[in-house]
Structure 1
Amino acid sequence: MADPSSYRPKPGQIPDSPGVYRFRDEHRRVIYVGKAKSLRQRLANYFQDVASLHPRTATMVTTAASVEWTVVSTEVEALQLEYSWIKEYDPRFNVKYRDDKSYPSLAVTMNEQYPRVQVMRGPKKKGVRYFGPYGHAWAIRETVDLMLRVFPVRTCSAGVFKRSAQIGRPCLLGYIGKCSAPCVGRVTPEEHRELAEDFCDFMAGRTGTYLSRLEQRMHEAAEEMEYEKAARLRDDIGALRRAMEKNAVVLADATDADLIAVAEDELEAAVQIFHVRGGRVRGQRGWVTDKVEAVDTAGLVEHALQQLYGEEKGEAVPKEVLVPALPEDTPALSQWLAERRGAQVSLRVPQRGDKKSLMETVHRNAQQSLALHKTKRASDLTTRSRALEEIAEALELDSAPLRIECFDISHLQGDDVVASMVVFEDGLARKSEYRRFQIKSFEGQDDVRSMHEVVSRRFRRYLQEKLKTGEWSPEEGEDPLAEDDGRPKRFAYPPQLVVVDGGQPQVAAAKRALEELGVDDVAVCGLAKRLEEVWLPGEDDPVVLPRTSEGLYLLQRVRDEAHRFAIQYQRSKRGKRLKSGPLDEVPGLGESRKQALLKHFGSVKKLRQATIDQICEVPGIGRKTAETLAAALAGAVPAGPAVNTATGEIIEDETPAHAGTSFERGTGQ
């Protein structure tokens, strides 16, 4: 725990201008990012008497080991830079909103030649129009099913589209009139794109004009006694009205607005957002966060605006944003939103009328979301803390291991030897920092040597990053570890505890690897599967934790996750090797060319049936290589358990994932 006075900047060193500041810990990891109108005044608040600070702020400044800042010209620039750094560094003491569930959106892929309507989740892609998010995927499909009658836009996947084009027949939707069948040329690309644009306009809320146009065409058809056409238009209008009725009118003036409400307590906060377009609620989403920094409602609103609109541009940012409290830098935020929309954006608190009533509804949803979240997590935080304390006590550590890394080895009878590294922080998996390794320094089944190699490689990266930042320098005659192959800098953050999947030999190998590199501040233990015993370096007897111990349960979860990740990687390598089969024996055919051939033809069987000219069509395959390949495949006699000798097809390994073979687990036990 650092003393803030040890890294406090000298008087007059901090500029009195807008900027963004970063606090870093002893490993140079960014733990907090903030912005200020005046860097001098804001940073001075952090270097008061620690006892007078908010408990969360006190924890942050005592965890930090240094502070740095960047001066900018305006508050808007500070806001933009703060958002970029929070997204880049993911600081542990900044508020981070987590979606309380994954919300689907209705997406129209306008970046394709034939735009497709589909349900999408996850990050937004460039050139795709999004509507929502919706509470349920079935709600999107019901709406789309009604609207395809009027806007028969393509909804099929790329594979179905390509197949229909090859055989010259549309899919079922094309036959029943719910797709314009561009795959077989019933409409031109321009006509299909116009249908997609009309669909987007209708979903965006511009419904009145289109319905009026349909009604006019219906009356004209009736006057000309084209009763079948008039009936079809009547049914189309009815379908569109039913689709509109699914979203009740909440604001009579056809407003486009987002309403943001916050429900909070001392430890957590829930945010709910209603997306209103054309006066109707078009989507809803919610976030939940731990209040890891001292922040009030206005601060939570500011973070929510950054999270919501940081990646949005154009019409995705509405004309009006209604919030429960105005942030401190309201003018800067309004300007930032206006720049993202390309037009003026009103950021305000509703005071009366329909908008205030709707805001109360959004707030009730936020309260319910927080109550539900607390019900689910009530025992979770306590349990994780107790588990870490039990591990620290059992292993006689100075403090709870907030970062745990676990290593596992996996192979197939000595072939395709791989290793995994998984990371748990504060008792939760941090999948963005998982790593996997190929063991190439030797052949055969030797888990102990493999464990020594992978731990050495991981902590060699750690020392390399310390060398770059000047925090470590090699002694005379010591390997400077200066080579750099562009690995991510996440290896620069060491764990408090290394867990290996195995018993005493694997633990000894991991400890020896750390000692050879001079790393003496990382604890090591192993978890043996047989009796779930915890082994420590140099100890003849294991540590036996009670079966009901939360600490043992956490170690099991970490070990099992490393085991799963290692087997997943090993099976992917094995699948690639078996899939290429006879191609491995063809001289001059590398991995890239083998993958290109298999991707082009689909299987070795179809490749055998191809002519030399057809093989030459594959990128990277010349005529000489094609002739060599054809001769090799024609003369090759498939052999071995992985090949069907009658058909030449590769037989996939059907060993179930739960098969308990020792070579599959890679434990050697």
Structure 2
Amino acid sequence: MSSFKSIIINLPHSPGVYRFLDDKGGVLYVGKAIDLKKRVSSYFRKQKNQPMRLQKLIEKTVNIEYTVVDSELEALILETNLIKSYRPRYNILMKDDKNYVYLKITTNEDYPRITVTRQVERDGARYFGPKASAGELYRTLKWLKKVFPYRHCGLDIRFKGDSTEPLRTGQPGEGGGPFKVLVTHKVLKYPCIDYHIKRCVGPCIGTVTPEQYKKFILPIVHFFEGKTDEIVKDLKEKMQQAAFGKQFEKAARIRDQLLEMEHLMAPQRVSSPDGIDKDVIGLVTEGGMGYVSHFMFRAGKLKSQENFILNAVHLESGAELEDAEILYAFVQQYYEKATDIPREVLLPEPFPQAKTIEEWLTTLANHPVKFFHPKQGKSKALIQLANDNAHSFAKKTQVSWQNKEGKGVEDALKGLQKILKLPKLPQRIEGYDISHLGGQDTVGSMVVVEKGLPKKADYRHFKLRTVQERIDDYAAMNEVLQRRLRYLEPILSGMRKAKKKEIPQIEKILTREKLDTDDLIPHKILIIEKRKKIVGIVRTKPIEKDANELASLWVDPSCRGEGLARELVYAVMAKQRKGKLYVLPCQTLIDWYGSLGFHDVKEIPKFFEDKATRCVNACLIEKPVVMVYRFPKGEGDTSLTRKPHLIMVDGGKGQVSVAAATLKKAKLSIPLIGLAKKEEAIFMPGQSKPLILPKESAELQLLQRLRDEAHRFALKYQQGLRGERLKS
């Protein structure tokens, strides 16, 4: 608090937008306030039960910036734009804009096109959206194209019926029409296949005038406006006219079009009794995520229903989102993108900023917009319907982690405990896999399932060092598990901090071994002692804030091969916990440090230049290698410090044997299995015969999904590394 006093003292009692910044100037959080001084000060008051997300935000904030505006409405608009621009880590966010699509109808052209786009532009076209599912929109357009043969190509077609310019007209054999058109931006050969199969009327070859063509476009506009009654009425009239005129084939085609429209209109049979244009929002929060179901009623009928996910990207373990926060974030971010804003929005609960949002939306929509929180009646029933759909959507997003026949994951976990004879219910299961391409870019993955559902925040990649340019999945699995399990290993007996009286002896050993002896400080040195004899030494030197050098590492020759050096380095890592740990290893230890998670530094840091030069001269090498271990951001890696109830590796008896040996070496007792792809057999340590479960077993399906997720996660990382290597 003291570091922000000067900022808070100078804050005005005015409306505005504030930004919390991290130590690199990055925007952590954007908020608005009617009174900047009161709002920002409230973050730094001692409060009971303050949300963990806000606690972490304050811990990471090193500076605060603010912008004063004239009104709360201006503050809301600026906040919306800044959130869209910065996408701050601690704001609640909808999925990135690139995940949403819009329907674009180029009504400003002579022959409008219908396309799907991810961006709204001020180009005179008509837009509908945002839509959460591009696939669903494409399916709808496919059905509409059977009824209304519109064009979706990229050709620029202009009507020139009375022009004397050289023009494109229909050529013999192409089914050309009588009207003159000018075609530019010729991105394809025309007329295309759609014309020949009667999915497009062929404006590119002059078959129709703009007025005739727009008769196909207007019903599509009406459809996305929700005015489907007009479409059906028009089609019925045309069918009757064709029948009276004894044009029975035409009448049959229109009848088929009506049937297609009935299919498309199926979702619109849900209705709002008052006939008013309104949106209805349902909300469910599960596992730190907000699942929103958005119903759009137009002219009393359900025009569309979209689902959205919101979360705080850096939501800490144990933190939860408040419903009011999620509603505010959704309404703000959705309607900023929306192309159709109704007069009424029904909410499952009120939120404090509703009046300001109403004022803002009224400005955007050019008509009054009001929020309502119905507590009874038919409007309440619509809210319940939306909430039910939000709940179903939340479950659907997790369905790949549940039994396809509906058996809950909790039952599957209980079944695993019984089948595998586990001492505890496997609430946390970790799955591991290795990926490479012919021995190159070998990587490992760790994926985590908690209570039967994926916990993606705890997923981890491992870029391997000891296994490159060769295929050795066993060695690769050993390295991955060794690096992961070090977070759980008990501290080695006999390891302690050095005492002041031991410094002369330590200096003598390091001098004899030609190791760094500068600034020997007892509390920066760890030793291993056996029978009152020092057999291992490691020491660090501070370089800059949150950065140290692993300056000296030594193990007595009589104890080498026992893993003491690894234990010493891990102890240093456990002590430091954040920032960076550098080392300038001799050539023979580069791969060994790599196996511990250190990576080469592309450019030698300035603080290492002198030492690197001395290394070149002393060791007669051309170029020294500086390596760094980067600790996870935050207060240690909570994913790796949590002990799993079950470890599963991708593979059979061989992989399980390697994993079991690694666990034994780490002195850890954790249940272990392997799942082999060929027969989906489960292997366990010490058992010669695998366990075969029925293919329809919920327990097996849970393990299969975990295995497949570990494979997917490893493969994606490996492909990324390969792509980077090929570019360099």
Shorter-normalised TM range = 0.5 to 0.7
Conserved 8 A contact 1:262-1:366: yes
Please show how residues 132-147 of structure 1 align to structure 2 within 5 Å: 140=137, 143-147=140-144
- Which of 301-310 and 281-290 deviates more? 281-290
Please show how residues 153-232 of structure 1 align to structure 2 within 5 Å: 153-156=150-153, 158=155, 168=174, 170-220=191-241, 230=251, 232=253
Deviation string 1:522-548 (CA, Å, 9 cap, x unpaired) is xxxxxxxxxxxxx97399xxxxx9986
1:565 lines up with 2:562 in the alignment: no
Conserved 8 A contact 1:276-1:283: no
C-alpha distance in structure 2 between counterparts of 1:184 and 1:275, whole Å: 39
Q: Tell me the CA shift for residue 64 of structure 1.
A: 0.7
Tell me the SS of whatever aligns to 1:70.
strand
C-alpha distance in structure 2 between counterparts of 1:165 and 1:125, whole Å: 33
Please show how residues 242-641 of structure 1 align to structure 2 within 5 Å: 242-265=263-286, 267-278=288-299, 279-290=301-312, 291=315, 296-313=322-339, 316-371=340-395, 377-384=453-460, 504=590, 510=601, 513-515=604-606, 537=627, 560=718, 563-567=721-725, 569=727
Name the residue aligned to 2:517: none
Q: Tell me the CA shift for residue 59 of structure 1.
A: 1.6
Greater strand share, structure number: 2
Conserved 8 A contact 1:14-1:40: yes
Q: Tell me the CA shift for residue 184 of structure 1.
A: 1.2
Code of the aligned partner of 1:364: D
Structural RMSD (CA): 5.0
C-alpha distance in structure 2 between counterparts of 1:180 and 1:555, whole Å: 47
C-alpha distance in structure 1 between counterparts of 2:54 and 2:247, whole Å: 75
Tell me the SS of whatever aligns to 1:325.
coil
Equivalent of 2:17 in 15, 20, 33: 20
- Which of 93-102 and 297-306 deviates more? 93-102
CA distance 1:254–1:343, shift in 2 (3 Å): same
Q: Compute the TM-score of the two structures, normalised by the length of structure 2.
A: 0.51
Tell me the SS of whatever aligns to 1:92.
coil
Q: Tell me the CA shift for residue 200 of structure 1.
A: 0.9
C-alpha distance in structure 1 between counterparts of 2:20 and 2:326, whole Å: 20
Deviation string 1:106-128 (CA, Å, 9 cap, x unpaired) is 5434465533334x364445555
Name the residue aligned to 1:45: 42
Code of the aligned partner of 1:310: E
Deviation string 1:189-208 (CA, Å, 9 cap, x unpaired) is 45334532332123312233
Name the residue aligned to 1:580: none
Gaps of 5+ in 2: 159-167, 176-190, 402-448, 463-479, 490-577, 612-624, 630-639, 641-654, 664-709
Tell me the SS of whatever aligns to 2:290.
strand
CA distance 1:51–1:389, shift in 2 (3 Å): farther
CA distance 1:517–1:181, shift in 2 (3 Å): farther
C-alpha distance in structure 2 between counterparts of 1:250 and 1:229, whole Å: 33
C-alpha distance in structure 1 between counterparts of 2:599 and 2:227, whole Å: 69
Code of the aligned partner of 2:724: A
Deviation string 1:214-253 (CA, Å, 9 cap, x unpaired) is 4445445555666565555555444434432353233244
Deviation string 1:151-192 (CA, Å, 9 cap, x unpaired) is 22113465999x998984534432343311112110134533
Q: Tell me the CA shift for residue 81 of structure 1.
A: 0.9
C-alpha distance in structure 2 between counterparts of 1:91 and 1:136, whole Å: 24
Q: Tell me the CA shift for residue 7 of structure 1.
A: 2.1
Name the residue aligned to 1:604: none
Aligned residues: 446
CA distance 1:228–1:91, shift in 2 (3 Å): closer
Q: Compute the TM-score of the two structures, normalised by the length of structure 1.
A: 0.55
- Which of 304-313 and 229-238 deviates more? 229-238
C-alpha distance in structure 1 between counterparts of 2:77 and 2:109, whole Å: 31
Conserved 8 A contact 2:8-2:40: no
- Which of 239-248 and 17-26 deviates more? 239-248
Tell me the SS of whatever aligns to 1:307.
helix
- Identity across matched positions, percent: 28
Equivalent of 1:55 in 52, 62, 87: 52
Please show how residues 647-666 of structure 1 align to structure 2 within 5 Å: none
